[in-house]
């Protein structure tokens, strides 16, 4: 094993046992080109780095690129594998502001990823390997299968998502308690596909379940996919990330937070996300060691995330109008949520056709057709009603984030009509 990896593992101590074999081998190449480049940073003549500069020392960038962005030419330089420090510092402060329970808790500096998918992949590579079980609710974002099963070779073990209209924390506990070694628990609130976020009661049960399994000696890596963070539309819902709870829950619990600009700041193509770590008793040195593992993984996969994207995000967060604009866009989605709630309440005749799954947040909601094959409903919705939906795990997922208020009544009555067609008219 590389000496730098050994050094990081030694710093991590018992937490290193939670890493996959690849995670244990991972290190950030502080030596080599990067280390030598860093040492030469203040040199008058610096011939180390693979970028190009003009005769006057400014970044050598063509106007046909630079002229498009309104950003300075420096935004075309590499951002580095950890990401731009001012952005990381800003995001860390924002994490505390958005999750007041994090105040005073120790957690790593976020490492910039090429948005959340890449963060999930890094978490997978650092912690999941053949023989490991990744525990997730059975209503999950389908990319988890590709990442954790196909790439990492781990086994995805799902548990029942809902019981009596609430999150089935007891089913989660049973899955975590199953024999075998360490478990990787993936939680995603607000959830894709259901649009559900744990209520305060759910959150209490989830945290208590993880704590009691960890207290029996099981090591648990809790991966929090916070892609839709902040988009909560009901009172009584746990709007903060559960990262705040898991950050110092138990020595056997390692929390990994994945978040970023994509969904919560409505910049899907920007590709700027973050991976952040915390565990009970972690020292600054240990958190930096885990961040170095993540940055090493970034280096090995994409070298570094888009510098332009990172500069844009930083400028937006520093903009005095950011909070107002964010509230304005949140209100657009919340209004649609409210309309859907009213539609479902007023159309009692739909109740025998489909059952809405619990939802209170995010971009989506799901309905379960009654006595009609969901895939047949989806097809008919396209062919007869020019209405596109997604079928997942026997549910029809409706992305209300994409549908104007005006079209929502037609969307839901089309779903009802398509189910009726299939049930009564044998279409
Ligand atoms: C639950 C969840 N996590 C992560 C992602 C990926 O986000 P990104 O586009 O930032 O990679 C998505 C995208 O649909 C998602 O629904």
**Protein residue with its CA nearest to atom 3 in ligand 1:** 227
Average pLDDT over residues 380-400: 97
List of residues 6+ apart from 94 with CB closer than 8 A = 317
CATH number for the segment(s) 322-424: 3.90.1150.10
Summarised one tens digit per residue, pLDDT across range 220-269 is: 999 999 999 999 999 999 999 999 999 999 999 999 999 999 999 999 99
Summarised one tens digit per residue, pLDDT across range 13-26 is: 999 999 999 999 99
The pLDDT value recorded for residue 40 is 86
Element (H, E) at 275: strand 273-279
The pLDDT value recorded for residue 275 is 98
78 DSSP assignment: -
CATH number for the segment(s) 3-28+81-318: 3.40.640.10
Element (H, E) at 366: strand 364-369
Which residue from 85, 18, 6 is spatially nearest to 278, judged by alpha carbons? 18
Summarised one tens digit per residue, pLDDT across range 409-423 is: 999 999 999 999 999
**Protein residue with its CA nearest to atom 7 in ligand 1:** 116
The CA distance from 307 to 272, in Å, is 9
Average pLDDT over residues 329-348: 98
Q: What is the pTM of this model?
A: 0.96
- Residue found by looking up tokens 């992949």 in the block: 121
- Residue 389 alpha carbon to ligand 1 centre in Å: 18
- Tell which atom from ligand 1 comes closest to the C-alpha of 260: 10
Residue 333: pLDDT over 90: yes
Q: What is the mean pLDDT of the chain?
A: 96
Mutate which of 116, 229, 366 for ligand 1 pocket (most atoms within 8 A of beta carbon): 116
Q: 3-28+81-318 and 322-424: same fold?
A: no
Which residue from 100, 92, 97, 145 is spatially nearest to 121, judged by alpha carbons? 145
The pLDDT value recorded for residue 274 is 98
Chain-centroid distance of CA 18 in Å reads 20
Mutate which of 117, 189, 190, 363 for ligand 1 pocket (most atoms within 8 A of beta carbon): 117
108 DSSP assignment: P
Q: In the chain, what are the domain boundaries? A: 3-28+81-318, 322-424
What is the number of residues in the chain?
427
The CA distance from 351 to 340, in Å, is 14
- What is the torsion angle, in degrees rounded to the nearest 10, for the CA atoms of residue 154, residue 160, residue 165 and residue 166? -50
Contact assessment for residue 258 and residue 114, using Cβ atoms and an 8 Å cutoff: no
Summarised one tens digit per residue, pLDDT across range 268-303 is: 999 999 999 999 999 999 999 999 999 999 999 999
The CA distance from 402 to 363, in Å, is 8
- Tell which atom from ligand 1 comes closest to the C-alpha of 117: 11
Helix (H, G, I), strand (E, B) or coil at 422: helix
Q: Residue 427's pLDDT band (boundaries 50, 70, 90)?
A: low
């Amino acid at each position: 094993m590389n000496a730098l990896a050994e050094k990081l593992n030694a710093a991590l101590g018992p937490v290193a046992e939670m890493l996959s074999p690849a995670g244990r081998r991972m290190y950030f190449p502080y030596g080599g080109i990067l280390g030598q480049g860093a040492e030469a940073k203040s040199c008058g003549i610096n011939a180390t780095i693979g970028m190009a500069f003009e005769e006057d020392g400014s970044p050598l960038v063509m106007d046909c690129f630079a002229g498009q962005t309104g950003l300075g030419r420096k935004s075309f330089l590499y951002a580095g594998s950890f990401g731009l420090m001012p952005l990381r510092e800003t995001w860390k402060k924002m994490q505390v502001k958005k999750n007041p329970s994090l105040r005073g808790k120790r957690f790593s500096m976020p490492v910039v990823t090429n948005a959340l998918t890449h963060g999930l992949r890094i978490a997978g590579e650092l912690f999941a390997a053949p023989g490991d079980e990744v525990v997730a609710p059975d209503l999950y974002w389908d990319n988890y299968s590709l990442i954790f099963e196909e790439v990492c070779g781990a086994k995805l073990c799902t548990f029942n998502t809902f019981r009596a209209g609430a999150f089935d924390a007891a089913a989660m506990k049973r899955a975590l308690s199953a024999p075998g070694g360490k478990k990787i628990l993936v939680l995603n609130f607000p959830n894709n596909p259901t649009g559900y976020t744990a209520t305060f009661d759910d959150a209490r049960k989830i945290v208590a379940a993880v704590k009691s399994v960890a207290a029996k000696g099981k090591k648990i890596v809790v991966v929090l996919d916070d892609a839709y963070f902040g988009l909560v539309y009901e009172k009584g819902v746990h709007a903060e990330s559960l990262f705040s709870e898991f950050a110092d829950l138990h020595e056997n619990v390692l929390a990994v937070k994945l978040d970023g600009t994509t969904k919560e700041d409505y910049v899907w193509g920007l590709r700027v996300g973050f991976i952040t770590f915390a565990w009970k008793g972690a020292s600054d040195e240990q958190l930096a060691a885990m961040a170095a593992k993540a940055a090493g993984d970034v280096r090995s996969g994409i070298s570094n995330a888009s510098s332009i994207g990172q500069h844009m995000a930083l400028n937006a967060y520093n903009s005095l109008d950011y909070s107002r604009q964010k509230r304005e866009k949140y209100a657009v989605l919340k209004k649609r949520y409210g309309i859907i709630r009213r539609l479902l309440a007023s159309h009692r005749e739909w109740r025998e056709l489909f059952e809405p799954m619990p939802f209170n947040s995010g971009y989506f909601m799901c309905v379960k057709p009654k006595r009609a094959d969901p895939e047949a409903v989806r097809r008919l919705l396209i062919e007869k009603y020019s209405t596109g939906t997604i079928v997942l795990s026997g549910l029809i997922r409706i992305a209300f984030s994409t549908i104007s208020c005006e079209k929502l009544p037609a969307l839901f009555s089309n779903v009802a009509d398509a189910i009726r067609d299939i049930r009564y008219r044998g279409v």
